[in-house]
Structure 1
C-alpha cells in the first residue's frame, strides 16, 4: 500500500483518517460480514434465537471478525502518526468516524420503541424511563432492559454493545498497546487468547457479551480479536502472502458462519470450532485480504460494501425489532413472514445507504473541519 495526496483523498471519500487508501478487499469482507449479521438477525428473531431454522449458525462471530479487522486497520492508519498526534487527537478522529452513526442508531431505536404498532406493552413504560435510557445510549453506556428487547445491555440498539467494546479497544491501543514492541504485543495476544479459550471451554460458545447474562464475555472477545488485528499488521510482511479474491474469501466466511453447531454429544466441540475460527481462520482471511489484488468490477463492489458496512451494522436493528414484534405478536403465515423478512432486508440496506450519503458523510466532513 502507498500513501496518497490530498487531492486523491478527496476523490476517495472512503479513505482512512490519514488519507491512506483502504485495503479494499478487507473493506469488502467487512461488508460481507455485515450482510451476514443482518440475515442472521432476520432469521433468528422470529424463532426466538433458536438454532433450529437458522442457517447462519455461527454468524454471531462476525463481531469477532469486525474486531480483528478494526485492530488491523487502526494499526495501519495510525501506527506511524504518533510522533505528531496526541491521544486526544486520536480519540477525536475515532469519535468523528464512529459516533455520528451511533447517535443515529440510538435515535432510530428510540423511534422504533415508541411507534412500534405491534407491541402494545411498550407503551406502558414511562417516557421518563425511556428517555433516561436514551441519554445513556447516546454515551454508549449500558441501560436497563426494555420490553421485547430480550436481555440486551443496549436495549434501544443492541449492536451498540460492540461499539462500546470498540471504543475500549481503541483507548487501550492509544494508551498502551501502540507502545508495545511486536514481541510484547504477541505476548499480550497470547494472554487474551488463553482467557478466551477458557471461556469457550466453559461456555461452549463465543456468542456472549450482548446481554446482561453474559456481559463479561464482551471484553474478552474484543481483547483477543482487536489485539490480534494489531499484531497481524505488525507481522504482515513476514506472513505467507496468500492471495484470494473477495468473492472467494467471502465464500469462506459464509461457510464458517453456516457450519452447523457441533452437537452437545461432542463435549466442548462447538467452543473448539469457534476457537479455531476466531484464532486461525479469521487471521488467515484478514492476511489473505490484505495481500490480495482484485479487478475493477470486484474493486467497485468492495468499495460499496465497505462504505455501507458500518451503517448497515449499526442501524439495522431498530428496523428489525418492529419486524420481530410483527412476527412474534401477529404470528403471520410463513409465506408472509418470508416477504416481511425480504422487505426488511431491502429497507435496511436502502436506509443505511441514505444515512451514509445524507447524514454520516456530511456530518463527518463538518466535524473534521470544525475539530481537526
Structure 2
C-alpha cells in the first residue's frame, strides 16, 4: 500500500533531517540558531509512526511462522542494499581520514573501532548495547534502521502469537514502558530502539483507529504545520516543559494526529504533498536519509578548509544549497541503482 501524500511528507521530513545534521559552524547565525533546525531531530519519530501504520496495514494478517519469515525477508530486502552501500562508503572515507589524511578528521578513531562500528550497523544492532557504544554505528543515521528492523521483528512475533485485542494491549503497554525508560534514564544512542518502540507502537494503534468512521474537515490539514512548529519551539524553549517529554511523547501524538488527518482529508496540504517535486523527494527519501551525513560533512570542509573559500553569508548559503542539490542528485542515482537493483537481486535469492 502506498498513500502518496504520506510519501510526500516523508520526503520533506527527510530533508529536514539533512538540515538538522548540517554543521552549524558553516552556516549563517540566523540559520544555525533557528529553533526549527535545532529541533529537527524529532522528524525521525515520524518515520517510525508512519512505518508502524504502513506495516500494520500490509502485514496485520501474518498467520504462522512461515508467513513471518517471508515478511521478515521482504523487510530485509527493502532495507539492506542501501544500508550496505552507505555503510561501506562511509567506512572507506573514515578509513582514509584516519589512516591516509589523519588531519582531516577532528577526532581520529582506531581501525578496530571503525570495523566494530561497521559491523554494528550491518547487523542491525547499532540502536542496542550489544556491541557497546559505537555512537550510532558506521554512518550514524543507520541507528534508526536498526531500531526499525527490531520493531519489525517484534511486530511479526506479536502478530503470530497475539489476538487483535491482546496485540492492542501489548502495544499500549510497550509505549508506557518504553516511554518510562526514556524519561527515567535519557538513554544514549545505543538504547534508541526504545524511541522506535514508542513511535512504531503508536503507528499500530493509528492503524486500528483509522479503520473507524472518523471525519475531518479539509481545513484541519493546516493544524499540522502549526502544531509541528509549536512543538519545535517547545523543545527549544525549556520553559514549556521537559525536552524529553515533548521530543518523545508530544511530537509522537502530533505525528499520530497528522497522519490520521491526512488519511481522512483532501485539502491544499494534500495537494502540495502530491505535487511532482515533493513526490520525487518522497521516492528517494530513504536514499537521502542514509546518503546525506557523509556529504554534508565532506563538501563544506572541501570548500572552506581545503579551497579556503572565505566564509560569509553568501558563500555559506551557496555551499548549503550545493550540498542539498548534490545529495538529491546522488540519492536519485542510489534509489535507481542500489535500492531497486539491489532489492531485485535479493528477491531472486531469498524469495
Global fold match (TM > 0.5): yes
Q: Which residue of 1 aligns with 2:136?
A: 154
Instruction: Give the C-alpha shift of residue 121 in structure 1.
Output: 4.6
> Structure 2: how far apart are the matches of 1:274 and 1:62?
10
TM-score by length of 2: 0.79
- Specify every segment of 5 or more residues in structure 2 that has no aligned partner in the other structure, as ranges: 128-132
Match of 1:107?
88
CA contact (8 A) 2:141 2:290 kept: yes
Q: Tell me which of 204, 212, 222 is aligned to 1:238.
A: 212
Q: Contact 1:37–1:60 (CA<8 Å) still a contact in 2?
A: yes
User: Residue in 2 aligned with 1:58?
Assistant: 39
- CA shift, 1:312, in A, is 0.8
Structure 1 residues 327 and 300 mapped into 2: Cα distance closer, same or farther (>3 Å)? closer
The 1-side partners of 2:144 and 2:321 are apart by 25
Give 4+ residue runs of structure 1 displaced > 4 Å after superposition: 43-47, 115-119, 121-129, 199-203, 243-250, 293-297, 323-332
Partners of 2:42 and 2:272 lie apart in 1 by 30
Q: CA deviation at 1:102?
A: 0.5
Q: Tell me how large the CA RMSD over aligned residues is.
A: 3.6
Alignment of 1:138-287 (within 5 A): 138-142=122-126, 153-177=135-159, 179-199=161-181, 201-202=183-184, 209-210=188-189, 215-216=190-191, 218-238=192-212, 240-242=214-216, 244=218, 248=222, 251-252=225-226, 255-256=229-230, 258-259=232-233, 261-265=235-239, 268-275=241-248, 277-287=250-260
Aligned to 1:315: 291
Per-residue displacement from partner, 1:19-73 (whole Å, max 9, x unpaired)?
xx401111111112111111111154758xx984553232111111111101111
CA distance, structure 2, for counterparts of residue 255 and residue 363 of structure 1: 37
**8 Å contact 2:65–2:160 — kept in the other structure?**
no
Unaligned ranges ≥5, structure 1: 1-20, 144-150
Asked whether the 8 Å contact 2:231–2:246 carries over to 1, the reply is no
**Greater per-residue helix proportion:** 2
Normalization by structure 1: what TM-score? 0.75
Q: Please say if residues 236 and 287 of structure 1, whose CA atoms lie closer than 8 Å, have aligned partners that are also in contact.
A: yes
Matches within 5 A, 1:126-145: 127=111, 129-142=113-126
Paired residue for 1:362, among 334, 341, 345? Answer: 341
Do the aligned partners of 1:185 and 1:227 also contact (CA within 8 Å) in 2? no
- Cα shift at 1:177: 4.4
